[in-house]
Amino acid sequence: MKKLAFVLPVALSVTLGWSGSISPVFAETVAPAQAAQKQGTIEHMKVVRVDGVTIAVYDTWFNPKNGSQRNDYLYFYEDTRDIKKDTRFSNEESSLFQRTANNYKDKRWTSVEAVELNGKQVEVLKANNNAKGNPAYHMAYIDKSTGMPIKVEDYNSNNEVMAVYLYFFDYVHEIGDRFIEEK
């Protein structure tokens, strides 16, 4: 747990400015559920995952005009100092933001309480794994105004935090027509 508490601030300071792409992009920070979907606007989700051994950054871009989706993965392994990157492309039929919000409306999630987190009203949800092992359960902190996750924590069977996922959402204006398409 001490290792995770040290690594998390380092991971955030390193990754918040990283766009996950070689192509330059301009970000417009907007609450996804409150902004009107504009023609040519890309939905962007960044997830930073930290555990005691790995820092991972997942960047996902979705183009609602044509359904193209790009996923960039960056893994930093603390013990070996290795960095691995991967990019994958797919086509999706619905909004990235809507698919993400819908993940927490599933019947496996139950409401625990409503709290304030970083000045936002959030609903805390809990999901238990049916399989024995780790993680034993998950806690999700969902922004009540947007329905989007802010943070998800994985816990082991001893009620210790195993991994923390931090979520960031915005709209990105593409530069060029082929930003998300496979090259």
CA 130 to chain centre: 23
How confident is the model over 114-137, as a mean pLDDT?
89
Share of the chain above pLDDT 70, in %: 72
pLDDT at 83 over 80: yes
User: At 16, is the pLDDT very low, low, confident or very high (cuts 50, 70, 90)?
Assistant: very low
Q: What is the pLDDT of residue 71?
A: 97
| Structure-token pair, residue 107 | 């019947």
pLDDT at 18 over 60: no
Q: Please state, in angstroms and rounded to a whole number, the distance separating the CA atoms of residues 110 and 76.
A: 33
pLDDT at 36 over 80: no
User: At 118, is the pLDDT very low, low, confident or very high (cuts 50, 70, 90)?
Assistant: confident
Q: What is the pLDDT of residue 28?
A: 36
Q: Which of 131, 139, 146, 132 is nearest to 163 (CA)?
A: 139
Residue 135, preceding bond cis, omega within 30 degrees?
yes
Q: Please state, in angstroms and rounded to a whole number, the distance separating the CA atoms of residues 167 and 125.
A: 15
pTM of the model: 0.78
User: At 34, is the pLDDT very low, low, confident or very high (cuts 50, 70, 90)?
Assistant: very low
Question: In Å, how far are 4, 106, 111, 179 from 52, measured between CA atoms?
Answer: 5, 29, 28, 34
Domain ranges of the chain: 2-16+26-173
Beta carbons within 8 Å of 88's beta carbon, 6+ residues apart: 70, 71, 73
DSSP 159: S
pLDDT at 7 over 90: no
Which stretch of 75-89, 92-106, 143-157, 168-182 has the lowest confidence by average pLDDT? 168-182
pLDDT at 122 over 90: yes
pLDDT at 33 over 50: no
Amino acid making up residue 172: V
Residue 16 CB neighbours (<10 A): 12
Q: Please state, in angstroms and rounded to a whole number, the distance separating the CA atoms of residues 58 and 72.
A: 6
For domain 2-16+26-173, say whether CATH 2.50.20 is its number: yes
Contact 101, 148 (CB under 8 A): yes
